[in-house]
Each structure stands twice: as C-alpha cells, then as structure tokens.
Amino acid sequence: MNDNIELNRSTKGSIKVKFGINTSSSLGSVIIDTPIKLIRFHIIPLKTPFLLSLVDIDELKVYFNNL
C-alpha cells in the first residue's frame, strides 16, 4: 500500500452499495493515478470481493455514473 494515499473522509456516505438485502455506505474515497487517468475509488467496508467484469456489469444491468 502506498503511504502517500489519504482517505478523503468528506465523501463519507456519498455512495451506498446494496448486495442482496445488505446495504453499506462508503467510508470515504481515494484518488489513484492509474495508467489511464486519475480515478476516484470509494472505499466500502465489505468482506465481499467487489470485482465485476464487463460481462457481469452488463448481465446485472449495473449503472455506473462516471460524471
């Protein structure tokens, strides 16, 4: 883990995720410099791995608003 990355707690609760009947709110967000561009990741306190492929996203009809 990079020690220079800080959790932005001002975004706490701005994202809510629902898996089945359980709902969880974000703890905050971090901005990571990826090879594509800077991306904001919202940190969710879940023990469930959150890895979705494009096929999963399409099948589950997930809507991702990247504005």
Rounded to the nearest integer, the mean pLDDT of the chain is 77
- Residue 53: band (very low, low, confident or very high) from pLDDT cuts 50, 70, 90: low
Judge whether residue 55 has pLDDT over 70: no
pLDDT average, residue stretch 53-65: 66
Report pTM.
0.60
52 vs 62: CA distance, rounded Å = 10
